[in-house]
Amino acid sequence: MLITDSLLLDYKRCSRRAFLNIHGDPRQQDPERDFLHKLRQENKRHIASVLNTFYPDYEKPPLSKTSWKEKAQATEALMQQGVDCIYQGILWVDDERLTSLEYLNHSQRIMPFGYDYLGKPHLLIKQPGQSKFGDWFYYPISIHLGRKAKPEYKLVATFYAQLLGIIQETSPPNPELITRPLKHSSVDMVQWLPKLQLVLDECVTILETVEEPEVFIARQRCNLCRWYSHCYAIAQSQQHLSLVPGVTPSRYQSLQKIGVMTTHSLADANLDSIKELIGTELAQRLQQQARSLVHNHAIPRHQSQYNLSEILSRQTIELYFDIEAEPERNLDYLLGVVVVDRVTQTQTFYPFLAETPEEEGVIWQEFLELVNTYNEAPIFHFSDYEKDTIKRLGNLYQTPNAQIKPLLSRLIDLHHCVINSVILPVENYSLKSLANWLGFHWRDAGISGDQCVCWYDQWLTTGDRNYLQSILRYNEDDCLATLHLKNWLLEFFSKINF
């Protein structure tokens, strides 16, 4: 079996994903999302920026080498020559080479025997020292799109260093990471070599079994995985506890100890037993969430800090606000507002759209003009992002605080209202999940916010206005979903006496 850097990265994120990538049926994978392609393109631009800034004189293994074994041999030949910087090199260590190296003592044998290992570090950098090549050796640099040196990045960088140590017949060198914006950091090998050994042992053990690792659905971790639909269908059929909001992997393990394995068993479990494991407040919340899912009904939180009937009472004019952004450019390119006028019984959508990034300041002023026209109207939104964006744009475009402060006071975050006031039969508390349960559906089914990021990028590239129309339709539906949620909350809590 071949153990690769990408396999280890997948395993670190999800053991089930690594298993399915080796043993799963590719026909069960979801189509690749456009957002993944966009991330790859952004990563290529980031790598190019690093090369141009720090390592413009790199060399690459010859393009004529097509197999990874040939590229690995070509990479080693460049190292033998003493090339200062190697880009897109391949590190390959087969089992025969691993077992024949006498320089490795027992404490250094962190890679299980019986496997071949392949790594593709972005850069190999020459520096003075001793190796089998002469009075120099190489250390690896990994380039990542993230802004933090994540544990999985450090693990894979340690893997590269270990491969290099074997190839160079010297102690593994300290690897480096380069994250955005061009930030260098070193990986502590003393800390990470034992962790790499543990992960390698666990990974090969799981991959050699015939039984799939257990499903665990985690919204952020699973979001872009192509096995998501396959795993989600299994989780639903099992009534898996990971579908209950608030059940983390550690809490799941605790619940298993008392035989609570499914949503139904959590709903029916002895509450005192759960309290002993995870505390009274959390036990009550998780059980109520499970009961809400099982019985498909909303449960008010009687200790709510909100008087929602008062906060959500109908006003003559109400504004519903949602933003579309492009994180790579730090750009908020669409400020969408639906104005509800209860006198005229109309709903009007005002999309303030920056057709180029340079127009962000223009749409910010247009947005301010609209909301100041209705300066007594509450502004309903969903999540902290809208509030944070108003602060950012106000600071960026030097809007007087005398305008920003009253505007912020008018904001009403329905996400905060929901999570502090009611338990709903949903698997997560996103706007889409809540609104869908309430019967609201977006006109473009299956579309999420990250698709709008891709559409805006495609608009800038192609000039095709169909992309803009799709974004506007999605944003308007977000605003209308917020309206739908607000109306439901008002009706629900007007019937509740706390």
Give the whole-angstrom CA distance, residue 347 versus residue 373.
16
Position 402 scores a pLDDT of 94
- DSSP track, 294-311: HHT--EE-TT-S--HHHH
DSSP 90: -
Q: pLDDT band at 102, cuts 50/70/90? A: low
- Cβ contact 433:295 at 8 Å: no
Query: Does residue 318 have a pLDDT over 60?
Result: yes
Q: Using the predicted structure, report yes or no on whether residue 178 has a pLDDT greater than 60.
A: yes
Q: CB-based burial of residue 73 (10 Å sphere; 0-12 exposed, 13-18 middle, 19+ buried)?
A: middle
What are the residues facing 176 on neighbouring strands? 141, 186
* pLDDT, position 498: 46
C-beta separation of 163 from 146 below 8 A: no
> pLDDT exceeding 70 applies to what percent of the chain?
97
pTM: 0.89
Q: Is the pLDDT of residue 303 over 70?
A: no
170 contacts: CB under 8 Å, gap ≥ 6: 103, 129, 130, 131, 132, 137
How much is the pLDDT for 308? 77
pLDDT of 210 > 90? The answer is: no
Nearest to 250 by CA among 297, 222, 216: 216
Nearest to 194 by CA among 162, 165, 217: 162
Residue found by looking up tokens 């994120």 in the block: 13
Query: Would you state the pLDDT for residue 111?
Result: 84
User: What's the pLDDT score for residue 306?
Assistant: 61
Span 296-306, average pLDDT: 79
- Read off the tokens for 438: 């309430």
For residue 181, cis peptide bond before it (omega within 30 degrees of 0): yes
Which pLDDT tens digit goes with each residue over 430-481?
999 999 999 999 999 888 899 999 999 999 999 999 999 999 999 999 999 9
pLDDT of residue 497 exceeding 60: no
Range 464-471, long-range pairs (CB < 8 A, 24+ positions): 468/353, 468/355, 470/444, 471/324, 471/334, 471/353
pLDDT at residue 129 in the model: 94
10 Å Cβ neighbour count for 472? Answer: 17
What single-letter DSSP state applies at residue 247? -
d(CA 474, CA 445): 10
**Paired strand residues for 318:** 340
Radius of gyration of the chain (CA): 27
Please state, in angstroms and rounded to a whole number, the distance separating the CA atoms of residues 122 and 111. 22
Question: Is the pLDDT score of 405 beyond 60?
Answer: yes
What would the mean pLDDT of 274-301 be, rounded to a whole number?
94
Query: What are the start-end ranges of the E strands in 200-345?
Result: 299-300, 317-326, 331-341
CB 262, CB 388: distance < 8 Å = no
The DSSP letter of residue 59 is B
Q: What is the pLDDT of residue 65?
A: 65
Q: Which of 94-108, 198-212, 243-257, 380-394 has the lowest mean pLDDT?
A: 94-108
Asked if 154 and 177 touch (Cβ cutoff 8 Å), the reply is yes
User: What is the enclosing helix (H) or strand (E) of 179?
Assistant: strand 176-179
CB atoms within 10 A of CB 404: 16
* pLDDT over threshold 80, residue 304: no
Give the pLDDT score at 107: 41
* Lowest mean pLDDT across 6-10, 37-41, 152-156, 207-211: 207-211
Residue 134 dihedral angles phi and psi, to the nearest 5°: 140, -145
Which domains are delineated in the chain? 2-208 (3.90.320), 239-297 (1.10.150.20), 308-494 (3.30.420.10)
**Lowest mean pLDDT across 125-129, 300-304, 446-450:** 300-304
Give the separation between CA 411 and CA 351, rounded to whole angstroms: 18
- In this prediction, residue 106 has a pLDDT band, given cuts at 50, 70 and 90, of very low
> How many Å apart are CA 464 and CA 131, to the nearest integer?
56
Residue 101: band (very low, low, confident or very high) from pLDDT cuts 50, 70, 90:
low
